[in-house]
Chain A
Amino acid sequence: QVHLVQSGAEVKKPGASVRVSCKTSGYTFTDSHMHWVRQAPGQGLEWMGWINPKTGSTNYAQKFQGRITLTTDTSIRTAYMELSRLRSDDTAVYYCARDRWRDLANWGQGALVTVSS
C-alpha cells in the first residue's frame, strides 16, 4: 500500500524559506514523478511543479520559478519542496502527490505553512 507522509506545520516570517518533506513507502520511489500542489485557505488546488526522482529533472510552474526547489533523497525515499522569499499569500496547505501516469494517484496528508510577521 502506497503511503506519503509529510512533515508537520510550519510558521515562517515573510522573506524566510520553508522546506516540506514527503516520506514515501509502498512503491518503487524512482518509478514515479512526484508533484507538489498547494491549496490556500478556502481556495482551490494549484500545481507547483514535479520532480523525477530517478534523474533529478524538474519542471516548475512559471509562477514559482526562481523561488521553488524540488529535490529527492532516494536513499530514504523522501521528496522535498523548498519555497523561498515567502510572502503572506504563500500561506497554504502544501501537498506532495505521486504521479502514476499523468494522474495524481496518491497524496500526502498535507503540511500547513503559515507566513506571518
Chain B
Amino acid sequence: QSVLTQPPSASGTPGQRVTISCSGSSSNIGSNTVNWYQQLPGTAPTLLIYSDYQRPSGVPDRFSGSKSGTSASLAISGLRSEDEADYYCAVWDDSLYGPVFGGGTKLTVL
C-alpha cells in the first residue's frame, strides 16, 4: 500500500481535460514539494512536473500541477492519444530521506 494515494485509473476523450489526484499527509505532501512522472507503455518514467507545478523544458503546457494542503493534482488539457500512460506522483519523505511514490494512475484516452 502506497503512502500517497492515487486513483488507479482515469480516462478522457481527445481534447478533454482530465485531472489526477494524489493524496498524502502533513508529513509528506504537506511539508515537501510534489513531483509527477509519466511512464509511457514499455518505457522508463520521465519527470513531467517538479516542485508542485514546474515543467521541465520540453514538457507541453497542456500539463500542469497544483497542490493544496496535503493533496496534489495533475491536470492534462487538450487530451491527446499520446498522453495514454501511467502517471505517478512522488514526494520526498523526510523520515526515509528518500522519495515515496503514489501507486500510479493509468490514463486511457478513449
Query: What residues of chain A have their CB less than 8 Å away from a CB belonging to chain B?
Result: 35, 37, 44-47, 49-50, 59, 61, 95, 97, 100, 102-110
Contacts and interface: CB of A to CB of B under 8 A. Distances in A.
Interface stretch (B15-23, B41-49, B73-81): B41-49
Given A44-B102, A47-B98, A47-B101, A105 B47 contact: yes
Given A45-B88, A47-B100, A49-B98, A102 B33 contact: yes
B99 interface: yes
B46 to A, nearest CB: 7
Contacts of A95: 44-45
Top 4 A-B pairs, shortest CB-CB distance: A103-B50, A107-B44, A44-B104, A45-B101
Nearest to B86: A44
A45 B104 contact: yes
B91 to A, nearest CB: 9
A104 B35 contact: yes
B102 A104 contact: no
Contact of A107 (B35, B45, B51, B98): B45
A106 B90 CA distance: 15
Interface string B80-94: 000000001010100
Contacts of A50: 98
B60 interface: no
Given A104-B37, A105-B56, A44 B44 contact: no
Contacts of B104: 44-45
